[in-house]
Structures are given as C-alpha cells and as structure tokens.
Amino acid sequence: MPHGNGRGHDEPPGRALEVAMLELARNAALIAATLATGLMAGLFYAFAVSVMPGLGRTGDRVFVDAMQKINAAILNGWFALAFGGALVLTALAMALHIPGDGREPLPWTVAALVLYGAVLVITFAVNVPLNNELDAAGDAEGIADVAAVRERFETRWVRWNIVRAVLNTGALGALTWALVLRGRT
C-alpha cells in the first residue's frame, strides 16, 4: 500500500517518520531556544530597570560590595544553562531549519543568533572585564578610594547592559516570530 505525503506522490514508509522526527526536533529546539533567550532577556532587563537603578541610589561601599556579591552569585549552573543554552539552542534551531521544507523560520533564527552573538561579544568584551576589575579592587571595606572604583565601573557597565537588554530582547522577538511561522506550517 503506497504511503502518500499529501502532495500527490508516494514516499518511502520510513520517510514519514523521518519528517515527523525533524518537525519534532525543530519545534523542541525552537521552543527551548526561545525560553533560554527569554530568560536572558529578562535578566538583562531586570538589571536595567531595577537592580542597577536601585544600587545607583546607594553609597559607594554598598554599591561596590553588592555588585561584587552579585557577580560572584550569578556564576552558577542555572545561569550557565540559560546563558550558554540560548546560544546553543538557537544555533540548533537554525541548523534544523536548513534542510527540507518548512524553512520560513530560518531567517528569524539567524537574526536571533546574530543578535545573541552580539550580546555575548559585549558581555565578554565589556561587562566581564569590568566585573573582574571590580573584584580585583578587593573587599569594599578595604578600598581606599571606593568612589573612584565605582566611577570606573558603574556608568560603562550600566550603559552596555542596556545595550545587551535591547539586543537580547530583539533576539527574543525574532525567535517568537519564528515560532509564529512554525505554527503556520
């Protein structure tokens, strides 16, 4: 008995399973990429609209001490899962949309990957080095000119975090649109 694919021609029996598995993988990767990217966009957004403005209202020692503690606390498995997962899962979603039919989401996954890649470049070129400088200044209680340490850190870190928040939100928007397009196919 021939197996139709709904397009008026026959395909081998194993082909339907192969197509179904590809579709499942595409959906799963795209959903997971969107979730991980959303978590990262939310993190940068939260820092931009609440954490940094709140810390900005504190004294110099409190600011430096709190940022040092935040920078140490954020280095954990849950953060790493979302931070690295957004990149890996978006790249996977993109790669899975290259073969066969159903490529409509591909340009949007590429856009998301480029935007999130820019977030990573900024993170490793600006924010992490600033975090490392802040940590290298030593315990906030023992810093002689804590105002100077804060001044070298705060404005630049905040500015580039806002850029990360905007780019990451753009990546989230691109992945969300890719999901909409997947739903239409």
Taking the domains of the chain in order of start, what are their residue ranges? 13-184
Judged against a pLDDT cut of 70, whether residue 4 lies above it is answered with: no
Judged against a pLDDT cut of 50, whether residue 171 lies above it is answered with: yes
Q: Which residue has the higher pLDDT, 15 or 42?
A: 42
Q: What share of the chain is helix, strand, coil (3-state, %, to 5)?
A: 80, 0, 15
Q: What is the mean pLDDT of the chain?
A: 93
Average pLDDT over residues 125-135: 98
Q: Return the number of other C-beta atoms located less than 10 Å from residue 82's C-beta.
A: 19
For residue 178, what pLDDT is reported?
Answer: 97
Confidence band of 3 (pLDDT split at 50, 70, 90): very low
Tell how far CA 58 is from the center of its chain: 29
Separation CA 158–CA 71 (nearest Å): 14
Confidence band of 11 (pLDDT split at 50, 70, 90): low
For residue 18, what pLDDT is reported?
Answer: 87
Average pLDDT over residues 113-131: 98
Q: pTM above the 0.85 mark?
A: yes
Confidence band of 2 (pLDDT split at 50, 70, 90): very low
In degrees rounded to 5, what are phi and psi of residue 79? -65, -45
Q: What is the pLDDT of residues 57-107, one digit of tens each?
A: 999 999 999 999 999 999 999 999 999 999 999 999 999 999 878 899 999
Contact 133, 27 (CB under 8 A): no
Q: What is the pLDDT of residues 39-59, one digit of tens each?
A: 999 999 999 999 999 999 999
Confidence band of 26 (pLDDT split at 50, 70, 90): very high
Separation CA 130–CA 124 (nearest Å): 10
Coil/strand/helix, residue 10: strand
Average pLDDT over residues 157-180: 98
